[in-house]
Amino acid sequence: MAGSHLDAELAALAGMSIDELRCRWSELTGTPAPKIQSGLLHRAIAWEMQAQIHGGHSRGLRQHIAAADGRTPNQRDLAPGTRFVREWKGVLYMVTVGDDGKVHWNGKTWNSLSAVARAITGTRWSGPAFFGLPQESRAA
């Protein structure tokens, strides 16, 4: 993709639907499109196109950018509808992952399993360890 061709490709993005943008993202990166607004996806695609020609950012910065949807770079994806059950000091706790990927427990929304584990125990815990996820599932 050279200069004038890149300009034409960038201009074409403005007229694309969200589905077309998602397809374009997948073509460029080989990964599923992130679940973000069309305007932000448009800018992300434009950046990827330019980065292929001019070079990109460091891995650390790319991870930081990937966290734009509110998750930390190391936070794993939890399947919506997943339930975690743990007994702690004679009390049974059940945590559910919502469609938004957030953790729901005790009528509140939490950003991570670790935040819930901390609220339950009063000390810092690895949420995946506290709720008994297998070791390979804990790798970030």
Q: Which pLDDT does position 77 carry in this prediction?
A: 63
Question: Is the domain of 63 the same as that of 96?
Answer: no
Question: Is the domain of 96 the same as that of 131?
Answer: yes
Classify residue 108: in a domain, yes or no: yes
Q: How many domains does the chain have?
A: 2
Q: Which of 36, 69, 102 is at the close of a domain? A: 69
CA separation for the pair 140, 126 (Å, rounded): 12
Classify residue 38: in a domain, yes or no: yes
Question: Is the domain of 87 the same as that of 56?
Answer: no
The pLDDT tens digits for 30-88 are 888 888 888 899 998 988 888 887 777 665 666 666 666 555 444 556 778 888 898 99
Classify residue 32: in a domain, yes or no: yes
Classify residue 77: in a domain, yes or no: no
Instruction: Print the domain residue range for 26.
Output: 3-69
Alpha-carbon dihedral 22, 34, 104, 77, rounded to 10 degrees:
120
Q: Which pLDDT does position 22 carry in this prediction?
A: 93
The pLDDT tens digits for 82-129 are 888 989 999 999 999 888 788 999 999 998 889 999 999 999 988 888
Classify residue 76: in a domain, yes or no: no
Classify residue 89: in a domain, yes or no: yes
Q: Which pLDDT does position 100 carry in this prediction?
A: 79
Q: Which pLDDT does position 120 carry in this prediction?
A: 94
How long is the chain?
A: 140
Q: Which pLDDT does position 73 carry in this prediction?
A: 42
Classify residue 33: in a domain, yes or no: yes
Let me know the angle formed at the C-alpha of 123 by 100 and 127, rounded to the nearest 5 degrees.
Answer: 35
